[in-house]
Every structure is written in structure tokens, then in C-alpha cells.
């Protein structure tokens, strides 16, 4: 690993000052992604700013009935929180679908939001990758692209964002609070990650000196009937081929409220707004769910290796909404 300086500030003000004065600095939360990337020589910070001393590890009630989640809350702690399990079961299930228990015990909410893609060409220094080395090309386009994106892709990059947690956060309209020496900013999670376009190396709507301090969940009554369904190559401990975070309210056979987001299909957690628009007011039937899924997936751009994802996403959306129609938010 390339040597670096190490500092451990005691409060948020000192942490954001530490990066403001050191352009090559990176924050470290749990380290489950950054340590790996540093070992591979993909991340090469001059200074690592350890956030482990900051008081950002609580989950608090908001006056409107929402929750404020500190950026350093461990993934396992958030998944186990009774308020999350009761009000936003899709979020607890999404977190528990990701990684392993060991990794969830280490990983923080802020770090999960900012994790990098698991595209194998991004990790392979010998491969062409516009995200790692802008202008070098993309070996995934005509390579092994079974796991790659089908929505919002560009000719420069078809990498996915690997997080499960973020898919649920996007469906729930969560908002990220960001701190820097220039002040406080609030960014909807749905806007935090960028699509690749011509600059796949720019992944976040976030400057290098900005620190995520909290994630706020608004009250989402429909989310009490929600679930997260993940499809992958083995039963556990694998990244999603396709995942669905969905919430549904049905009255007299008609959909009265819906939330839908997809994982494993894009460089960002994919909020399926077109499908939501078509679902609400329509019948709670498999035909209607299928039409909504088709509309959302109509813009898909596939490669030989990942063309199956369109049919898989459609089937997973329909199955998840069908399960929610018949009640029971638990797996």
C-alpha cells in the first residue's frame, strides 16, 4: 500500500478543515472499500482522515416522524434498528442483503453511499477503464459484462453502483446532509450519484472536501408495506444482478401509493419514477405491474452478457409488487 499520513480529528469542524487544507486527502469510515482500493493502488490518498472519533453514530427521531441517521452508524446497527424495521422494512432488508455480517459490522452509512463500483475492469490496472483512467477506454463494453448496467449507460462506461442500501434510500426520498468549510448542503440520495455520460470518473455530486454527516429519512407511510428483493448468482454474499426496493398501498384492488427503485442496473440507485406514475391509480394486477415495469425498462441498452437483466428486472418487479399486494412486508 502506498504510504500516507494519518489524522484522527475529534469533531466535524476539524475533519472538514483537515481535507480542505490537503487536496490529496480522503475520509475513511469503516474502510471496507477504501482499504481494498488502496491495497490495489486504485485509491492513492496522501492523507487519510479517520472519522472514527466523530460523534455521528446515532439514529434520532425527527419532529415530522422521520429519522436522522448519523453517517457513522454501522450498517448492521441501522438494519437492526426497530424503528427502521417497523417503518422502513425495505431499508433493513436491503442492508441485510448486502455483503457479510463482518462487513456490515464495519461499514458505515456514509461509506456505503460513497462506495465505488465493483466492475472487475475498474479493479484491474492492466485493463482499459474510463472511470479509473479517463480516456483509456472501457474493456467492459465488449468484455465480461454479465454484471453491468443496462439503464443510463454511455459508450464510456457501463459500471453499476453496487450498494443495496442506496436502492432503498432512493425509493424512500432520503436526503444526505453534507458539511464542508463552505457550509452545509442537503442533497437527495437520488441525485447523489451521477450517470457516467462522458465523465464516468466523476461519480458523485460532491466535492472532495465535503463530508456526509447524516442521512435523513422523511416519513413515508406506504413504506410500512415494503420489501427489498435481490437476485444474485449465489444465495448470499454476492452483488446484485438485479434488485428491487418496493412499497405498495392497495385499496379496493387499486394502487393508491407506490415506491419503486432498482439496483444492479445502473451507475446509480435507479428510482423508477415512470413505473411509479403508471402504477398509482391502476389496478393491483400482474398485468398492470408488468406494463409499469416495461415502461421503466423501455430505455434499456444491453450488451450480449447482460441482456438477460431486462427480463429479470421485469420479473423481479412484478413478483415483488405481487407479494406486497398480498400483504406481508417481511421476507
Partner 1 sequence: MTEIRMRVNGVVHSLDVEPWVSLLDALRERLGLTGPKKGCDQGACGACTVLADGVRINACLALAVQYADKEITTIEGLAQGGELHPVQQAFIRHDGFQCGYCTSGQICSAVAMLAEHAAGMPSVVSGSAARAELTDAEIRERMSGNLCRCGAYNGILDAIREVATP
Contact set with partner 1 (CB under 8 A): 1-6, 8, 28, 30-32, 35-36, 38-39, 48, 50, 52, 76, 79-80, 85-86, 89, 92-93, 96-97, 99-103, 105-106, 227, 235-237, 329-331
The CA distances from residue 189 to 20, 192, 238, in Å, are: 24, 5, 23
The torsion of the CA quartet 176, 105, 240, 305, rounded to 10 degrees, works out to: 110
**DSSP class of 182:** T
**Minimal distance in Å, beta carbon 311 to partner 1?**
24
Where b means 16+ CB within 10 Å and e means fewer, 152-166 reads bbbebbbbbbbbbbb
d(CA 33, CA 130) in angstroms, rounded, equals: 20
User: DSSP labels for 189-217?
Assistant: HHHHBPP-TT-TT--BSS-TT-EEEEEEE
d(CA 168, CA 159) in angstroms, rounded, equals: 19
Instruction: Between 39 and 186, name the residue whose CB sits nearer to partner 1.
Output: 39
Instruction: Between 101 and 311, name the residue whose CB sits nearer to partner 1.
Output: 101
**Minimal distance in Å, beta carbon 250 to partner 1?**
19
Instruction: Between 69 and 278, name the residue whose CB sits nearer to partner 1.
Output: 69
**Minimal distance in Å, beta carbon 1 to partner 1?**
4
**Minimal distance in Å, beta carbon 105 to partner 1?**
5
SS3 134: coil
Instruction: Between 97 and 213, name the residue whose CB sits nearer to partner 1.
Output: 97
Instruction: Between 31 and 283, name the residue whose CB sits nearer to partner 1.
Output: 31
**Minimal distance in Å, beta carbon 133 to partner 1?**
21
Amino acid at each position: 500500500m502506498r504510504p500516507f499520513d494519518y489524522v484522527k480529528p475529534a469533531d466535524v469542524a476539524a475533519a472538514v478543515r483537515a481535507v480542505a487544507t490537503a487536496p490529496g486527502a480522503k475520509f475513511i469510515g469503516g474502510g471496507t472499500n477504501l482499504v481494498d482500493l488502496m491495497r490495489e493502488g486504485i485509491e492513492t490518498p496522501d492523507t487519510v482522515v479517520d472519522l472514527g472519533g466523530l460523534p455521528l453514530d446515532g439514529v434520532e427521531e425527527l419532529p415530522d416522524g422521520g429519522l436522522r441517521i448519523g453517517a457513522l452508524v454501522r450498517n448492521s446497527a441501522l438494519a437492526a434498528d426497530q424503528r427502521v424495521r417497523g417503518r422502513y422494512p425495505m431499508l433493513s432488508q436491503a442492508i441485510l442483503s448486502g455483503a457479510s455480517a463482518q462487513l456490515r459490522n464495519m461499514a458505515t452509512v456514509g461509506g456505503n453511499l460513497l462506495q465505488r463500483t465493483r466492475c472487475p475492469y475498474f479493479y484491474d490496472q492492466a485493463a482499459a477503464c474510463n472511470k479509473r483512467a479517463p480516456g483509456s477506454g472501457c474493456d467492459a463494453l465488449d468484455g465480461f459484462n454479465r454484471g453491468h448496467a443496462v439503464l443510463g449507460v454511455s459508450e464510456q462506461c457501463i459500471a453499476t453502483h453496487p450498494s443495496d442500501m442506496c436502492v432503498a434510500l432512493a425509493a424512500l426520498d432520503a436526503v444526505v446532509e453534507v458539511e464542508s468549510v463552505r457550509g452545509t448542503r442537503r442533497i437527495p440520495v437520488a441525485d447523489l450519484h451521477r450517470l457516467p455520460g462522458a465523465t464516468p470518473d466523476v461519480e458523485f455530486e460532491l466535492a472532495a472536501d465535503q463530508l456526509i454527516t447524516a442521512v435523513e429519512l422523511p416519513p413515508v407511510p406506504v413504506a410500512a408495506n415494503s420489501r427489498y428483493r435481490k437476485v444474485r448468482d449465489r444465495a448470499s454474499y454476492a452483488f446484485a444482478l438485479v434488485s428491487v426496493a418496493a412499497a405498495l398501498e392497495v385499496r379496493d384492488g387499486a394502487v393508491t401509493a407506490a415506491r419503486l427503485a432498482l439496483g444492479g442496473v445502473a451507475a446509480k440507485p435507479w428510482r423508477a419514477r415512470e413505473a411509479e406514475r403508471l402504477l398509482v391509480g391502476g389496478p393491483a394486477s400482474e398485468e398492470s405491474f408488468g406494463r409499469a415495469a416495461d415502461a421503466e425498462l423501455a430505455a434499456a441498452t444491453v450488451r450480449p452478457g447482460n441482456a438477460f437483466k431486462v427480463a429479470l428486472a421485469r420479473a423481479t418487479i412484478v413478483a415483488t409488487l405481487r407479494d406486497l399486494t398480498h400483504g406481508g412486508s417481511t421476507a
